Structure 1
């Protein structure tokens, strides 16, 4: 477990983060007192691309009046 002062952490935070391995911890100290612990995580897996048409045929029922105007909205229609 590495230790770094709060001043060094402030000035080199991006560099420290990029140099850490997954699961590695870094203790940040103020003087000799530990004040924070920074732990690297695994990168999330990239999202799998979706394929067009994968849900084709899943809607098996649609009402005959699906496109008909709703009674609740008749007052707003021209």
Structure 2
């Protein structure tokens, strides 16, 4: 698992997405505290649909 700050995430988004596609988890920190997490979509055991989507 890799942790980056928001500036690093914005600057290196393409590289981070490649890492996620390879199976790695990326944590984005705000003010030094974990805030968001990028994970491969196949890492979830159940499918999550955005609000308003049906299927």
Structure 1, unaligned runs of 5 or more: 43-78
Higher helix proportion (structure 1 or 2): 2
Q: Secondary structure of 2:27's match?
A: strand
Q: Secondary structure of 1:8's match?
A: helix
Higher strand proportion (structure 1 or 2): 2
Would you say how many aligned residue pairs link Structure 1 and Structure 2?
41
The answer to whether the aligner puts 1:36 opposite 2:36 as a matched pair is yes
Deviation at 1:8, TM superposition (A): 0.3
If asked which structure has higher relative contact order (CA below 8 Å, sep 6+), I would say 2
Structure 1 outlier segments of 4+, above 4 Å: none
After superposition, the CA RMSD in angstroms is 1.4
Deviation at 1:15, TM superposition (A): 1.3
Which structure has the bigger radius of gyration? 1
TM-score by length of 2: 0.61
